[in-house]
């Protein structure tokens, strides 16, 4: 069994803490996955106030002040895909996902993205293990339990390789400093250990988890939902997209309800 490194233990503890502190805005996904809607800016009133800037001085204080006419306008804007007003509402998610999921997610470029860096920290020593549902297509088990066990053993070997080789390099650096063959560390980032991390991260598999802050406006978030919640989306990123949609819905119930009504007026696609 792979031993979890200290950084990964800290992240696991933080996930538990966030789940307790913010249960309506957090979800756990898969082996080590996690997503949280940490913060938002603006609301349904922001959207309508923006949309009306050229036609009216009327300003809404919040969604609680909405009339039937206001709700109808919000639905119209969504159904007719009037994009600009939806760029004024922002969401900040934090998610921990396998690197192969991140590679799909980062294609949604109209957003800001800040990822865990293996230049500065050791990797998260946890990797994605597909459950039975993930391994099965139309009742056929594409990857058997025995194959999954071999897959897990291989990934444990790669993660253990990183930990053992990094420890060996660090001990050698310390020994050479002790003998004076390397200069002492003078504060700040150790260039020798840093280069070791840079080199060894190249061996890490895309099944390992990484940690991302994602800040996105609602228009771009809608595009993410439309593409990644579809049944044709890859299983793993779809689990995150559905969770992100659910968290959005808890934070903005009126916007979610209106979006789902507007979607029925459009072609049959988009969020569930």
- Which tens digit of pLDDT belongs to each residue from 146-192? 999 999 999 999 999 999 999 999 999 999 999 999 999 888 889 99
**Confidence class of residue 267 from pLDDT cuts 50, 70 and 90?**
low
For 96, phi then psi, to 5°, come to: -120, 115
Whether residue 272 is predicted with pLDDT greater than 70 in this model: the reply is: no
Whether residue 61 is predicted with pLDDT greater than 60 in this model: the reply is: yes
> HSE on the CB side for 191, CA within 13 Å?
5
All structural domains of the chain with their residue ranges: 6-128+207-265, 139-206
Q: Which two tokens stand for residue 117?
A: 């860096």
**Which active-site residues does the annotation give?**
228
Angle at 272 between CA 210 and CA 104, to 5 degrees: 30
**Confidence class of residue 102 from pLDDT cuts 50, 70 and 90?**
very high
What's the rounded mean pLDDT across residues 207-223?
97
Q: How far is CA 101 from CA 78, 97, 151, 237, in A?
A: 28, 6, 18, 6
Beta bridge mates, 238: none
Residues 190 and 173: their CA atoms lie apart, in Å, by 10
Residues 13 and 21: their CA atoms lie apart, in Å, by 12
**Cα of 192 vs its chain's centroid, Å:** 31
pTM: 0.92
Q: Which fold has domain 6-128+207-265?
A: Gyrase A; domain 2 (3.30.1360)
Q: What is the pLDDT of residue 18?
A: 97
User: Over the chain, what is the mean pLDDT?
Assistant: 94
Residues 39 and 57: their CA atoms lie apart, in Å, by 29
What percent of the chain stands above pLDDT 70?
97
């Amino acid at each position: 069994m792979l031993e979890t490194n200290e950084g990964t233990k800290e992240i696991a503890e933080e996930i538990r803490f966030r789940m307790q502190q913010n249960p309506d805005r957090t979800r756990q996904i898969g082996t080590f996955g996690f997503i949280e809607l940490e913060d938002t800016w603006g609301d349904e009133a922001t959207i309508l106030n923006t949309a009306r800037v050229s036609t009216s001085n009327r300003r809404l204080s919040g969604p609680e002040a909405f009339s039937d006419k206001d709700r109808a306008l919000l639905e119209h804007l969504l159904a007719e895909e009037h994009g600009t007003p939806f760029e004024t509402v922002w969401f900040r998610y934090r998610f921990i996902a396998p690197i192969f999921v991140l590679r799909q997610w980062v294609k949604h470029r109209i957003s800001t993205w800040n990822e865990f860096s293996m230049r500065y920290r050791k990797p998260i020593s946890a990797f994605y293990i597909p459950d039975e549902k993930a391994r099965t297509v139309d009742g056929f088990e594409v990857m058997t339990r025995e194959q999954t066990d071999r897959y897990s053993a291989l990934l444990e070997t790669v993660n253990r390789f990183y930990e053992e080789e990094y420890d060996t390099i660090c001990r050698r650096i310390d020994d050479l400093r002790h003998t004076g063959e390397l200069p002492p560390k003078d504060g700040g980032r150790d260039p020798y250990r840093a280069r070791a991390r840079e080199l060894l991260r190249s061996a890490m598999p895309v099944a390992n988890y990484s940690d991302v802050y994602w800040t996105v406006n609602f228009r771009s978030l809608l595009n993410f939902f439309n593409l990644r919640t579809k049944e044709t989306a890859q299983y793993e990123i779809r689990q995150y997209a559905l969770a992100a949609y659910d968290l959005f819905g808890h934070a903005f119930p009126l916007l979610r309800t209106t979006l789902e009504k507007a979607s029925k007026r459009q072609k049959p696609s988009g969020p569930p």
